[in-house]
Structure 1
Amino acid sequence: MKCPVCNHENGNAHYCERCGTDLTQSPSFSNAPRDHESAAAVESEYTRWSSTQAAPSSSVPSRTPSAPTPHDHTYDNSGPNGHSSAGDTNQWNNVMQNEKVQQAKEVSKQYISYFLSVLARPYQTMKTVGDQHALNGLITMALIAILSSTYFLLTFSRLDMGGLFVAGFIRPLLFTAIILIVAVVLIYAVLKIEKITFRPKTLVAQYGTLLVPSVAALVLANLFIFISYPIAIFLLVVSYVIVFAGMNAVLFQHPLNRTKSAIDSMYTVLIANVVLLYILYRLLAGSILGILGMMLSPFGRL
């Protein structure tokens, strides 16, 4: 039987399966509602029920509109240019930093093995190095400058001197770097005067190889500041003597005086040593002698 209210086909049921209308009293739509108000109430109830049932299905397309809302549009635009882009940039920077850290670790491992092998036989190793060892030579020179400045910083801190960072670290760092640069330039100049063919990177690698014992002496000097200061300052002097010896060893392992030059090779090497000694005296000897004076003084002995 068809419901006269909602037109739902109910078969032989006494009540409508959809709206609950009594079908036994209303066989047709014209005879169904004797009271107009009751029929209206039933119809309104059906309308409320049907709207509540249709709400979930009608809300589904509303969540997926064909065009993005202004809020969604703003969020999408912030992806490539806003926080999402900044997050990608930070992630890339972190990756690059990690790669640099890994490269630094590799260089450190290679230098440690290089350092230990050179320390046993520096002169023999110097004859076999090439351009690929130039970085190790530069690292050795940088370590000499840093360890020298650390030595003076620790010494001045024990003496309670003013201007600790500038006088005890920055100035020795710069002065030692200047001395090493001058030593390399002097080797380069002497070989040029002697008209000897060489590669600058190989020259840096050779000189840096011979300076490895100087690094070891400076490490011990920094340690002996807290144990025995006379031994510490002796090791400091030894480290700078190695700077002189290394320059001469690099020069004399080349075939000097092959040409008929106006000046003998002995004098060119002597001039180079005098220049380096003068620069060392002007830059660091004053500080070293001052420390020695305070150490030997009865009032400033450490």
Structure 2
Amino acid sequence: MKCPVCNHENENASFCERCGSNLTEVASTSSPASSAPSQESAAASESEYTHWSSKQDSPNHAPQDSSSNTSAPIPIRQPQEQAQATENQASGDQQNNQWNNMMQNEKVQQAKEVSKQYASYFLSVLVRPYQAMKTVGEQHSLNGWLTMALIAVLSSTYFLISFSSMDIPGIFVSGFVRPLLLTAIMLIIAVALMYIILKVEKLTFHPKILVAQYGALLVPAVAALVLANVFTIISLSFSMYFVAIAYIIVLVGMNAVVFQYPLNRSKAVIDSIYTVLIANIVLVYVVYRLLIETLLSILSLFYSSFWRL
């Protein structure tokens, strides 16, 4: 019997030997209306047969796991992408370098402006320091601190130049670092003493203006120390007079700033003269430690090394 599905010629069998279709239920006659469903079932059976026969033809074929191929491929950067990344990194580094150079140039320009302003301020105050002290404001406090820094540096360079010719071990520490620190401490103590005196007198004042006023009176001290450093080459003994003048100005300047305020003796705890006297004693002691003990320590080192020879 011929199978109507796969056209396989079967002998006396109830099912097709190839596709397994039921041969007993096949009707001898079919209506035209049922021909379309028969064709659809035949196509479905044929597809089933094709799928089944493909499995039968390759019995050793093992199904592959779909999950084994689901891993994402590793992206490989192409040479163009690498070149683009390198170019972007180079452009970023160049922008950072340009920004750093711009900031450095801006700082240099600011330093130049500050130096120019301080130079004009220094020359104008040097002519009439006391009159300038009465007119300065909070905006001149930076100039006051710069003046104090110059006094500390110039004092240190004076001691270093004066004793550089001596073969003394550790001359940089004892001749430069120690005078620098002591001078800075001395000036800070002077500002603190003025602050304490005015607080004891119960006066209203601005600390920045106090620094600006004291810095204006210290401008002649800077000029004296510059001359002292210059005259160390010509005459060391003569240069010491300029150093003494500079430290006298430090003492006098503190008193001038304090006494230009209206001291209110009626509300003060103690009389104003005693507070000012105590402040001067403290400052003189600091100056003594700076000048006398530093000189004596350096000279002792010099003579001890001399006697060893």
* Length-normalised TM-score, structure 2: 0.70
Question: What residue is the counterpart of 1:5 in the other structure?
Answer: none
Question: What residue is the counterpart of 2:86 in the other structure?
Answer: 78
C-alpha separation in 1, matches of 2:81 and 2:104: 34
Question: What residue is the counterpart of 2:282 in the other structure?
Answer: 275
1:33-86 CA distance string (max 9 Å, x none): xxxxxxxxxxxxxxxxxxxxxxxxxxxxxxxxxxx9712211222344x33222
C-alpha separation in 2, matches of 1:233 and 1:290: 17
Specify the structure having the higher radius of gyration (Cα).
2
Question: What SS does the aligned partner of 1:259 have?
Answer: coil
Deviation at 1:279, TM superposition (A): 1.9
- What is the aligned counterpart of 1:256 among 245, 255, 263? 263
Question: What residue is the counterpart of 2:130 in the other structure?
Answer: 123
- Which residue identity lines up with residue 70 of structure 1 in the other structure? Q
Question: What residue is the counterpart of 1:187 in the other structure?
Answer: 194
- The within-5 A match list for 1:104-183 is 104-183=111-190
Aligned structure 1 segments of 4 or more residues deviating by more than 6 angstroms: 291-295
Decide whether aligned partners of structure 1 residues 229 and 292 sit closer, same or farther in structure 2, where only a CA change above 3 A counts.
farther
- Which residue identity lines up with residue 170 of structure 1 in the other structure? V
Question: What residue is the counterpart of 1:222 in the other structure?
Answer: 229
2:238 equivalent to 1:231 = yes
- Which residue identity lines up with residue 74 of structure 1 in the other structure? Q
Question: What SS does the aligned partner of 1:226 have?
Answer: helix
Q: Confirm or deny: 8 A CA contact 1:182 1:276 kept in the other structure.
A: yes
2:278 equivalent to 1:247 = no
C-alpha separation in 2, matches of 1:74 and 1:170: 55
C-alpha separation in 1, matches of 2:219 and 2:105: 29
Q: Confirm or deny: 8 A CA contact 1:175 1:284 kept in the other structure.
A: no
Deviation at 1:290, TM superposition (A): 5.8
Q: Confirm or deny: 8 A CA contact 2:168 2:301 kept in the other structure.
A: no
Decide whether aligned partners of structure 1 residues 289 and 232 sit closer, same or farther in structure 2, where only a CA change above 3 A counts.
farther
Question: What SS does the aligned partner of 1:160 have?
Answer: coil
- Which residue identity lines up with residue 79 of structure 2 in the other structure? H
Question: What SS does the aligned partner of 1:260 have?
Answer: coil
Aligned residue pairs total: 229
Question: What residue is the counterpart of 2:66 in the other structure?
Answer: none
Q: Relative contact order (alpha carbons < 8 A, sep ≥ 6): 1 or 2 greater?
A: 2
What's the C-alpha RMSD, in Å, of the aligned pairs? 2.2
**More displaced, 273-282 or 216-225?**
273-282
Unpaired runs of 5+ residues, structure 1, are: 1-67
- What is the aligned counterpart of 2:212 among 205, 218, 221? 205
Unpaired runs of 5+ residues, structure 2, are: 1-75
Q: Confirm or deny: 8 A CA contact 1:153 1:169 kept in the other structure.
A: yes
**More displaced, 135-144 or 85-94?**
85-94
Q: Confirm or deny: 8 A CA contact 2:136 2:212 kept in the other structure.
A: yes
Q: Confirm or deny: 8 A CA contact 1:220 1:232 kept in the other structure.
A: yes
Question: What residue is the counterpart of 2:95 in the other structure?
Answer: 88
